[in-house]
Amino acid sequence: MRIVVCIKSVPESTAVEFDLERGTMRREGVGTIINPFDMYAVEEGIRQAERHGGTVTALCMGPGQADRELREALAMGCDRAVLLSARAFAGADTLATAYTLAVAIRALGGADLVICGKQAIDGDTGQVGPGIAQRLGMVPLTYVSRIHSIDQDAGKIVVERLLEDGTELVEAPLPAVITVLKGINTPRYPTRWRLRAARRTQLEVWGLDELPQLDPERVGLTGSPTRVVRIFAPEVREGQVQFFDAEDMDVAAAALVERLIADRVVGR
- Output the pLDDT for position 181: 97
> Which of 63-77, 160-174, 210-224, 228-242 is the least confident region?
228-242
Closest alpha carbon to 57 in 4, 117, 110, 2:
4
Please give the CATH number for the structural domain made up of 2-218.
Answer: 3.40.50.620
Which tens digit of pLDDT belongs to each residue from 145-189?
A: 999 999 999 999 999 999 999 999 999 999 999 999 999 999 999
Confidence class for position 14, pLDDT limits 50, 70, 90: low
Sequence spans of domains, the chain? 2-218
> Which of 26-35, 64-73, 132-141, 191-200 is the least confident region?
26-35
Average pLDDT of the chain?
A: 91
Strand pairing of 204-206 and 32-34?
A: unpaired
Confidence class for position 13, pLDDT limits 50, 70, 90: low
pTM: 0.82
pLDDT of 103 above 80: yes
> What percent of the chain has a predicted confidence (pLDDT) above 90?
70
Confidence class for position 110, pLDDT limits 50, 70, 90: very high
The mean pLDDT of 230-245, rounded to a whole number, is 76
| Three-state SS sequence of the chain | CEEEEEECEEECCCCCEEECCCCEEECCCCCEEECHHHHHHHHHHHHHHHHHCCEEEEEEECCHHHHHHHHHHHHHCCCEEEEECCHHHCCCCHHHHHHHHHHHHHHCCCCCEEEEECCCCCCCCCCHHHHHHHHHCCEEEEEEEEEEEEECCCCEEEEEEEECCEEEEEEEECCEEEEECHHHCCCCCCCHHHHHHHHHCCCEEECCCCCCCCCHHHCCCCCCCCCCCCCCCCCCCCCCCCCCCCCCHHHHHHHHHHHHHHCCCCCC
The mean pLDDT of 3-23, rounded to a whole number, is 77
pLDDT of 118 above 80: yes
